[in-house]
Amino acid sequence: MKFIAAFLLLLSVAAPAFAVEPGERLADPALESRARTLSEQLRCLVCQNESIDESGAPLAHDLRVLLRERIAAGDSDAQAVKFLTDRYGNFLLLKPPVEPATYVLWFGPLGLLVVAAGGALIFLRRRQAMPDAPPLTASERTQLDRLMKEGEGR
């Protein structure tokens, strides 16, 4: 616990980090910070689910530079992203947009949870709602006796 406190303490004094490739950075830290946040949301089109912020691919480099050009030119975050998605499509967005085509994707998990939880609740109620189990049949009785004996034998 002490070391957790220690590392959290370190964080509070650590300088905010801005950087991708040193040469790509914008001079203005506020703009660079915005570019950084945005580029974490954009997919490197030729990589496996890596963002352009993380990827070392040349295409990711180009997109990072393009994004920074737009931001330096005075685009808002939304405008800069739109500039890129207009050219590369929504495939660029690591977070798929919520639209009719993705309703199943976005609301599916909640729906599944409701179905699963509902099923479990019905099951649990049934398990509980049978306080009087049917009496044992003769064969079950002998089986029980046998099992009880086995249990004692251990």
User: Which residues contact other proteins (rule: CB under 8 A)?
Assistant: 1, 3-5, 7-12, 14, 17, 19-23, 41, 43, 48-51, 54, 56, 89-97, 101-102, 104-106, 108-109, 112-113, 116-117, 119-120, 123-125, 127-128, 130-131, 133, 153-154
> Shortest Cβ distance from residue 151 to other proteins (Å)?
10
CB count in 10 Å sphere of residue 18: 14
> Shortest Cβ distance from residue 112 to other proteins (Å)?
5
Cα–Cα distance, 95 to 91 (Å, whole number)? 9
Q: Which two tokens stand for residue 133?
A: 């189990």
Cα–Cα distance, 41 to 105 (Å, whole number)? 18
- 115's CB contacts (< 8 A; 6+ apart) are none
Which is closer to other proteins, CB of 22 or CB of 74?
Answer: 22
> Shortest Cβ distance from residue 68 to other proteins (Å)?
15
